Structure 1
Amino acid sequence: MTAGTSRAAERHVWTARMIRPLADAGVGTRQPFLRKTFRAKGGGRAILRISALGLYRAFINGRRVGDDLLTPGWTSYNDRLSYQTYEVGGLLADGDNVIDIWLGDGWYRSQMMWAHQHALFNTWGDRIAAIAEIEADGQTILASDVDWSSGLTPILKSGIYFGETYDARLENAPADQGAALHEDFDPSVLVAHEVNGVKELAALPPVSSFTDAEGRTIYDFGQNAAAYVAFTVTGEAGATVTVEHSEILDKGAFCNSNLRSAPCRITYVLKGEGRESYRPAFTFQGFRFARVTLTGKVEIADIASMPISSAVTRTGWLTTGHPLVNRLVENALWSQRSNFVDVPTDCPQRDERLGWTGDAQVFAATACYLHDSHDFFVKWLRDVMADQRQAGEIAHVVPDPTRGHEDVYPRFYGSTGWGDAIAIVPHTLYRHYGDLDILRETLPAMVRWNDFVWSISDGPIVRPPRPWAARGFSFGDWLQPKGPSEKPLPTIGDDAAATIYLYIAAKLTAKIAGLVGDKATEKRLSDRAAAVKAAFAHEFVTPSGRLAYDDQTSYALAFLHDLVPEDKRAAAGDYFKATIARAGGRIGTGFIGTPALLPALLRIGEPELAGAVFLQEEVPGWLYQVKNGATTIWERWDAIQADGSVFDPAMNSYNHYAYGAVCQWLFEEVAGLRPDEDEPGFRHVLFEPAIIPALSPVAAAHDSAAGRIEAGWRIENDTVTWETVVPEGAHGTLIVPAGARNVILDGRPVPPAAGEGKQRLAVESGRHVVTFAVAR
């Protein structure tokens, strides 16, 4: 479990040079390899340092180096390119050795962005290349240079969106061409890999299969995931296996229309030599179903879906007495795995798969509960800073393919709620892991971002322009449901959403400045936050306590961030509840409002209403998608509509984690465990459950930076039994709900609290049991 600090990106002085294979014919063509024969001693210790422009897979004497996937990963390549280090002594023999480095187009130059607007190719460069050196006994025994040779791999074409075409008959091709220096490469951008590599997870065998009218077999692997199909076949040379991928069946039929311009197709051509096993090297897909077409004489001997992810260390578990809720937690877990493939992306399947900053900021805390996410986010935040524009704007997506391509994607940066990731994600890492270093590292970037947002309207009320390419455009509360078409429900205005986020980021940045000892910035941003708060109350809160747009997101964010004046809170709370009633007890929030909705209802003292909104099973609702067979979180509340029809495939993903941010609420406010910001990294654990009887029994565990934390409760009649575990070396505070009666802690009665307020019970490490009678 990662804790404490963010290591600075390490630098290495390279002997090797970045070289490109002369066999390479450009993007979308047969993928090349580099080769070198070198002398070594076997049996000793040897270190390979290696990276590439594009993707690489290395082999020494025909044996693969490591088991990382999609190396060197995805970064803002012009500023940061990671290199990996492997112990390879066990692969070396006495005398001559051969290293082969296969190269793939990858994110570097295969298609990025969507074709309906403008697909980008050669996004960061048009020449793939590699750099490698081996050090043994303190000596460099191999370094890439122009004396290497090159040839062509059996991969005829590969791309992140495209898939892969592999002709096994072309294996063992000669290295009959040379190599050249990549003259424009600056080795100062190379940094040691900051995260664990992308790994294969446990294989998913098919749970069922059927044959369609054209004789193709559709396999159901039971789980939507970022993955690839691995198979073993037998057959004649020249026979082919073609695999297509989809997330859903539409009325029982294979349906991949939501992939848009991404073919997501695997084609394997047999060499005809007994059992042949294959899995792609330089791509992945997002799918649950695979349609396999066999051409020629060929039979499938074995097939499985192989999920891949950077989220490999699970740290959170939560169950309730409600089966649909339990599946929802698993769906969020799988959406994180699927979208944590070196970068926190929005989706793993269509022609997008981009590192949307807004999605990441709303899901970051949930991510840290479910998996160890510290190093992953630190690496990504460094790319966020690399892609920050001169005026302080944060890119909508990071790494940013539009940077340098503003002729076709102008101003793809600067949206409130999205750019605020630069403040929210570092603070989340501080809360969860106690990492003060990442706050120091990112503070200048978050100040520049906050100054930019203020400058949009030159004052505390932010008025974003509507056109996408305009300076200060905001996505607002993206994909907020509008209710029935005959009478749409109110939605938050961009000005209110942007102003709220200016306040959130200003207050947070001030707090962070104080934590790292920057008193001048702390005061300047604190004063700004106060000005925005006052302006918000004047502009958006009526004398009666109604918020201007009178929608769920406005109330949720305003209550959660203490933007409602004290004398208006009771009335505003009633208006808030009325927005829920108007929506028929259903959700009325989008990407930025949804994480705030249920916590805000608890803030105004409405746990029963929060539970009812959470547990209702119609669209829009979290459990609607689970009830309709989802195994990951959907992008849209109505991705499959109530009549069973598939929503418009122009923008429809069945594997987006944003709405899975509700799991933070489940951990922190239903199970009731959270870190104390005054003692971050869970050195002091605050336990405060919301007793929602329909969810009983609740049990949660989290492998935190301080150790294993457990919290759970059950209710029988009017009596709650509440159990917690505080890690060794940490301490906790049990916050008993207001009005609880007959409180007993570890077998000892607790004197009643004065008045009807909450009781705070200090506890040390170990297991603790509390019972109390709930207020009636």
Structure 2
Amino acid sequence: MDTPYKSAQQQSRLPGHFATAEMISPACDAGQGQAGTFVSAAVALPAAPDRAILRISALGLYRAFINGVRVGNDLLTPGWTCYDARIAYQTYDVTHMLRPGDNRLEIWLGDGWYRSQILWASNPIYNCWGEHIGAIAALEVNGLPLLVTDGSWKSGFTPVSRNGIYYGEDYDARITPCADSAVDVIAFDKVLLVPHEVDPVKEFEPRAPVAEWRDADGRRIYDFGQNAGAYIRLRTQGAAGASLRIEHAEILGPNEEFDNRNYRSARAELRYVLAGDGEEVYAPLFSFMGFRYARITLEGDVERLSVEMVPISSVPVAAGGITTGIPAVNRLVENTVWSQRSNFIEIPTDCPQRDERLGWTGDAQVFAGTACWLADSERFLIKFLRDVMHDQRENGAVPHFSPDPTRLHPIDERGDWAGSTGWGDAIVIIPWQLYLHYGNREALAECFPAMLKWLDYLWSISDGPIIRPPAVWGDHGFTFGDWLQPVGDNRKPRPTVADDCAATLYHFISTELSSRIAGILGDAAQASRLEARAEEIRRAFVREYFSPSGRIAHNDQTSWALAFLHDLVPAEYHEAGKAYFRRVVEETDGVIGTGFIGTPALLPALTRLNMLDLAEKVFLNRKVPGWLYQVDRGATSIWERWDAIAEDGSIYDPDMNSYNHYAYGAVCQWLFEDVAGIKPLAEAAGFQRVELDPAILPKLSPVKAWHEVRQGRIEVEWELAGDQVSYRVDLPEGVEARFKVSPARRDVVIDGASVSAGGDVALSAGKHVIAFRI
């Protein structure tokens, strides 16, 4: 096997004969947005090989063919990284593809993230990492080099007549690839090449339409019943030169009209021109879309034989699930799964559809815990953190998104796109979740220097513990705050957290957590220093934001939730604070008052304070803003905005409105850890030991949850009958648990034996039955 990635600097040599290959670019390539090109070479074999290995990468995207047959089934290779830091390569066993006699290796190239449009129409960036696409490959047979890319290869045009991540793809099947041009050997530092760090993007089982109809212009619209990161695969036949145009949309308008205005400048279309030689099958090679609906326009003598949606993801295998007695809640969990799959395509993006699809750090940090519950996200998130660290600024500011095109191509009028609290804190919070879930101490160590740079940056914003961010976007220390925090009726808006309070809350969260991480890494000096700094922030926070009556400054749901969850409410204000918090939540009658950073904290904070009645009411609220409101509106993925579709079906401003945004799905972490009651423990990271402490919300009964960990599968379920709870647990070998026997649980019986209240009970691997009254 190829050695795992450590760092570009440590990658001293490439395996096998890959080091002798050169990066070559088609001489016929006309640049970004132009006709697709390929490079190829032929070689003769005297006999079938015992073993043949292809190592391959590209500037841009590639798809390789040997003797006309596709190599592997990975998608969007070589993937997306900060290409100026490292570029992945893939390794394939191609023994079965070679034959005695002539063999031909052909590598088709696409613009991909490397040089097609990135960012929205007002600030589009083209050729972000370079103007020239290219390929580098080495084909070894029986340990000897058979074919490596060099200046002797040839190039030509592919049937892909144009492609781009936002653009989609145009394909003219009448074009037969012909290698009639030369190649250029281009300067390339092979130290950038690293083995693919994440599981490759793969297809799911295709989905057939659940409904189809014609619009007023005769175009056929297909509903696939699920919003997903995906592409269309179609079967067609007709005359040469006839064509199909495939458009995509996430939603329908109030009158069921096709509506993809929220894609903004992303064309996100496929256009296929027929070769005219019988049945033809097409799916795009170098792009994907976020959609539920497709609209197909036929032009000329053409017949559509079949059409299907093909979802894709880097995390196609589920690692956890939870169900309750409420179908809408189960659909919410399913929607979260689909939003993770749709946006975990090489990097954790905000959305898969519009002219954005960027690795926003704020979205990723609030969702990281949920991501690890629902899928094995370890390698995926570590790879993302390496991009984040490469994009971190010299002053310690962490980028708003990564890979960050603005680092290489600054957007002058908005300053540096880095340094927002709640977003940059991803460099601390994501490694911590990786440690909790997988026991990955190496991720903590790898990211720790970047954490320290980030903490120094935070302190520098206002030269002290209280952060006072500027109001101007892009200025030093600008913060998104509690992004998209709802304010209710604009005639009498509800209170929201101020930027300085939100920033200082996260200043404390990351400093305190980094102190704990330093202790785990054995750095006693840093642990002590950071602990003292966290305590200084804590004292300053209390002085700045608490009145003598115990009321927090902005008296909003986000401030209270984060302050209680992270122990920033002083003991002397605890009871008064609980009363204020309860009233703030009750005043909204169950409607959510939190945005991107407050929402993941709201229900855990209410649960921790034993306000289970409020947690249940808020979670099950079906008005807007609320999780189940979007389910009732027919959502099949998580929305970016609470109010993305109004009750009358009207669409909120499409200029910023995604219907596949996983951030608010972070509530699933609460479902696993609080409602199902499975809490990972830092002192026994990687699920060596868990705390079992289910929050019994009567309306959710029965609750069942499962989670695959390294040791096997954890399963729990509870059901409420009257005031009697039955809680069943199944722990795999290598996982122990402690069950919380709190005063609120009466008449506790574990495996047939009565247990007195006031302590924890240790449980070994195996099945256990726990009964108690509430």
On whether the aligned pair clears a TM of 0.5, the verdict is yes
**Residues 1:146 and 2:151 are matched in the alignment:** yes
Name 1:62's counterpart in structure 2: 68
CA deviation after TM superposition for structure 1 residue 721, in Å: 0.3
Name 2:278's counterpart in structure 1: 274
Name 2:206's counterpart in structure 1: 203
Q: Distance in 2 between the 1:663 and 1:175 partners? A: 52
Q: Map residues 523-602 of structure 1 onto 2, 5 A cutoff.
A: 523-602=528-607
Name 1:113's counterpart in structure 2: 119
TM-score of the aligned structures, taking structure 2 as reference length:
0.97
Deviations 1:633-688 (A, max 9, x none): 00000000122210000100000000000000000000111211101110102111
Aligned equivalent of 1:633, options 612, 635, 638 = 638
CA deviation after TM superposition for structure 1 residue 312, in Å: 1.6
- CA gap 1:541/1:374 in 2 versus in 1, 3 angstroms: same
Q: Equivalent residue of 2:109, what SS?
A: strand
Of 554-563 and 292-301, the range deviating more from structure 2: 292-301
Deviations 1:116-151 (A, max 9, x none): x21111111111011101122222221111111100
Q: Distance in 2 between the 1:369 and 1:729 partners? A: 18
Name 1:762's counterpart in structure 2: 762
Q: Distance in 1 between the 2:100 and 2:536 partners? A: 72
Name 2:738's counterpart in structure 1: 733
Aligned equivalent of 1:350, options 344, 354, 357 = 354
Of 524-533 and 652-661, the range deviating more from structure 2: 524-533
**Residues 1:218 and 2:221 are matched in the alignment:** yes
Name 1:506's counterpart in structure 2: 511
Q: Map residues 249-648 of structure 1 onto 2, 5 A cutoff.
A: 249-251=252-254, 252-408=256-412, 410-648=415-653
Structure 1 unaligned residues grouped into runs of 5+: none
Aligned equivalent of 2:100, options 72, 94, 98 = 94
Q: Distance in 2 between the 1:556 and 1:173 partners? A: 60
Would you say the 8 A contact 1:72–1:82 is kept in 2?
A: yes
Q: Distance in 2 between the 1:38 and 1:738 partners? A: 77
2:434 is aligned with what amino acid?
A: L
Q: Distance in 2 between the 1:97 and 1:202 partners? A: 32
CA deviation after TM superposition for structure 1 residue 578, in Å: 1.5
Deviations 1:697-756 (A, max 9, x none): 000000012220011100001110000111112211111343222211112222x22xxx
Would you say the 8 A contact 1:429–1:435 is kept in 2?
A: yes
1:334 is aligned with what amino acid?
A: W
Q: Distance in 1 between the 2:709 and 2:140 partners? A: 37
Q: Equivalent residue of 2:140, what SS?
A: strand
Name 1:103's counterpart in structure 2: 109
Of 733-742 and 137-146, the range deviating more from structure 2: 733-742
Q: Distance in 1 between the 2:744 and 2:611 partners? A: 14
Name 2:59's counterpart in structure 1: 53
TM-score of the aligned structures, taking structure 1 as reference length:
0.97
Deviations 1:478-514 (A, max 9, x none): 0000110110111101101111101111111111111
Q: Distance in 2 between the 1:458 and 1:740 partners? A: 48
Would you say the 8 A contact 1:6–1:378 is kept in 2?
A: no
Q: Equivalent residue of 1:169, what SS?
A: coil
Name 2:128's counterpart in structure 1: 123
Q: What is the percent sequence identity of the aligned residues?
A: 55
- CA gap 1:388/1:248 in 2 versus in 1, 3 angstroms: same
Q: Distance in 2 between the 1:143 and 1:723 partners? A: 59
Q: Distance in 2 between the 1:410 and 1:403 partners? A: 11
Name 1:772's counterpart in structure 2: 772
Question: How many residues are matched?
Answer: 762
1:772 is aligned with what amino acid?
A: F
Name 1:159's counterpart in structure 2: 164
Name 1:714's counterpart in structure 2: 719
Would you say the 8 A contact 1:6–1:435 is kept in 2?
A: no
- CA gap 1:299/1:257 in 2 versus in 1, 3 angstroms: same
Q: Distance in 2 between the 1:736 and 1:663 partners? A: 24
Aligned equivalent of 2:246, options 243, 249, 255 = 243
Deviations 1:32-51 (A, max 9, x none): 00001123442421111111
2:116 is aligned with what amino acid?
A: S
Q: Distance in 2 between the 1:193 and 1:747 partners? A: 51
Name 2:235's counterpart in structure 1: 232
- CA gap 1:90/1:179 in 2 versus in 1, 3 angstroms: same
CA deviation after TM superposition for structure 1 residue 406, in Å: 1.1
Of 316-325 and 759-768, the range deviating more from structure 2: 759-768
Name 2:87's counterpart in structure 1: 81
Deviations 1:55-88 (A, max 9, x none): 0000011111110000000000001111111111
Of 31-40 and 254-263, the range deviating more from structure 2: 31-40
2:89 is aligned with what amino acid?
A: Y
**Residues 1:36 and 2:41 are matched in the alignment:** yes
Of 339-348 and 463-472, the range deviating more from structure 2: 463-472
Of 653-662 and 129-138, the range deviating more from structure 2: 129-138
Q: Distance in 2 between the 1:133 and 1:717 partners? A: 68
Deviations 1:142-192 (A, max 9, x none): 11111111000001100000000000000x221111111112x21111111
Q: Equivalent residue of 1:761, what SS?
A: strand
Q: Equivalent residue of 2:72, what SS?
A: coil
Q: Distance in 1 between the 2:666 and 2:710 partners? A: 20
1:61 is aligned with what amino acid?
A: N
Q: Equivalent residue of 2:690, what SS?
A: strand
Structure 2 unaligned residues grouped into runs of 5+: none
